[in-house]
């Protein structure tokens, strides 16, 4: 039965290989879209709205069915699933397949991203600018990113000493951040973190504030450390199977690209709003929000600096423009931070 189910799912993923009956506006197509976020999460809802907008603008010629919650492919399988045609489109995190994206993993560095909108604009722009070989096996539609990742824990973390030896959920490059700060990283998908915190498998998680409500993790933590000084992000791709992209006529490609450009802003706004809601959620639950004094912030920033240098050197060793990419990234984050400071 399991094998039959897999074949049925794979068959669904291949359905868009040939166009459906022609409509008055031209040939029509059906595609599948794998999203790892749960259906109730705002990012999954945005994926569905994106598909609906494409259907509307195309006059029904391009119909996209969204499979949320990893129903079609799990988070770490999503990208390869798009390459292999298990799904026609996919949304997941670059970080979930560590080592596969040697240049773009730099997007997740702990540079102090100020908010989700800034992070989304930055990661989308740099991915488009560098268009690295590591993503040439798909069509990248757009990239978005959450607000600054901070420490959420079951017991107070007010300094580096409190982090020493602490079991911290961290994925992808963030695992190195935890190590550099003296913690003990435990890798797992976001969907497994609630239970891991609840059962004591981990003592803390590095996460954007939105997860505390969006993934309900605020129910199983007691403290939030304002470690935005090293705020990292996680970059999420939205990619299409290359053959499916090439099968679309020019007018449908333009619609997909236009809607995707609009959705970059929508995702950024949603990440910011989700962070606000997450903060309100834990405030109402009376979680302790712990600031880092300036001298402690300086220590944290100093601890993660070698990671930036290591990234650039490793990328260069692989023949990639790591230094240039990092330079652009630092400049963009610094500009975004300055803009945010002016608003206050």
- Quote the pLDDT of residue 174: 84
Phi, psi of 145 (to 5 degrees): -155, 145
Please, which contacts does 186-193 make with residues 24 or more away whose CB atoms are closer than 8 Å? 189/36, 189/74, 189/75, 189/76, 189/96, 190/75, 190/215, 191/36, 191/38, 191/70, 191/75, 191/215, 193/169, 193/217
Are 296 and 162 spatial neighbours (Cβ–Cβ below 8 Å)?
no
- Quote the pLDDT of residue 342: 87
**pLDDT by residue, tens only, the chain of 344 residues:** 333 333 333 333 344 444 555 556 789 999 999 999 999 989 999 999 999 999 999 999 999 999 999 999 999 999 999 999 999 999 999 988 888 999 999 999 999 999 999 999 999 999 999 999 999 999 999 999 999 999 999 999 999 999 999 999 997 778 889 999 999 999 988 889 999 999 999 999 999 999 999 889 999 999 999 999 999 999 999 999 999 999 999 999 999 999 999 999 999 999 999 999 999 999 999 999 999 999 999 999 999 999 999 999 999 999 999 999 999 999 999 999 999 888 87
Q: How far apart are CA 318 and CA 106, in angstroms?
A: 14
- Quote the pLDDT of residue 24: 63
The residues, ordered by sequence, that sit 6+ positions from 294 with a Cβ below 8 Å of its Cβ are: none
Dihedral (CA of 269, 272, 276, 278) sign: positive
Burial 169-201 (b: 16+ CB within 10 A, else e): bbbbbbbbbbebbebbbbebbbeebbebbeeee
Q: How far apart are CA 20 and CA 127, in angstroms?
A: 33
DSSP designation for 36: -
Residue 291's nearest CA partner among 167, 157, 170, 164 is 157
Instruction: Look at the pTM and tell me if it is higher than 0.85.
Output: yes
Q: Where are the alpha helices (DSSP H) in 160-287?
A: 160-163, 174-180, 193-199, 211-214, 242-247, 250-284
Q: How far apart are CA 230 and CA 110, in angstroms?
A: 5
Residue 187's nearest CA partner among 200, 201, 198 is 201
């Amino acid at each position: 039965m399991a094998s039959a189910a897999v074949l049925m799912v794979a068959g669904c993923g291949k359905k868009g290989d040939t166009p459906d009956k022609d409509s008055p506006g031209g040939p029509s197509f059906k595609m599948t879209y794998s999203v790892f976020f749960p259906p109730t999460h705002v990012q999954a809802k945005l994926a569905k709205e994106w598909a609906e907008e494409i259907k509307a603008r195309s006059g029904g010629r391009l119909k996209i069915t969204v499979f949320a919650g990893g129903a079609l492919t799990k988070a770490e399988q999503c990208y390869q699933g798009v390459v292999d045609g298990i799904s026609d489109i996919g949304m997941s995190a670059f970080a979930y397949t560590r080592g596969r994206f040697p240049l773009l993993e730099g997007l997740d560095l702990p540079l102090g991203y100020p908010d989700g909108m800034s992070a989304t604009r930055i990661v989308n722009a740099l991915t488009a600018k560098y268009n690295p070989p590591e993503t040439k096996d798909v069509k990248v539609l757009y990239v978005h990113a959450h607000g600054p990742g901070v420490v959420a824990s079951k017991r107070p973390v007010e300094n580096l000493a409190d982090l020493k030896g602490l079991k911290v959920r961290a994925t992808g490059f963030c695992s190195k951040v935890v190590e550099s700060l003296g913690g003990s990283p435990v890798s797992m998908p976001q969907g497994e973190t609630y239970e891991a915190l609840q059962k004591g498998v981990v003592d803390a998680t590095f996460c954007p504030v939105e997860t505390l409500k969006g993934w309900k993790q605020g129910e199983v933590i007691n403290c939030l450390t304002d470690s935005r000084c090293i705020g990292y992000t996680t970059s999420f791709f939205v990619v299409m199977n290359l053959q499916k992209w090439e099968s679309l006529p020019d007018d449908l490609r333009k619609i997909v690209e236009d809607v995707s450009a609009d959705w970059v802003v929508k995702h950024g706004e949603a990440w910011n709003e989700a962070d606000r809601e997450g903060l309100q959620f834990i405030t109402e639950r009376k979680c302790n929000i712990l600031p880092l004094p300036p001298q402690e912030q300086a220590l944290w920033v100093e601890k993660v600096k070698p990671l930036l240098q290591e990234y650039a050197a490793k990328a260069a060793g692989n023949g990639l423009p790591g230094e240039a990419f990092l330079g652009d990234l630092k400049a963009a984050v610094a500009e975004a931070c300055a803009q945010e400071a002016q608003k206050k």
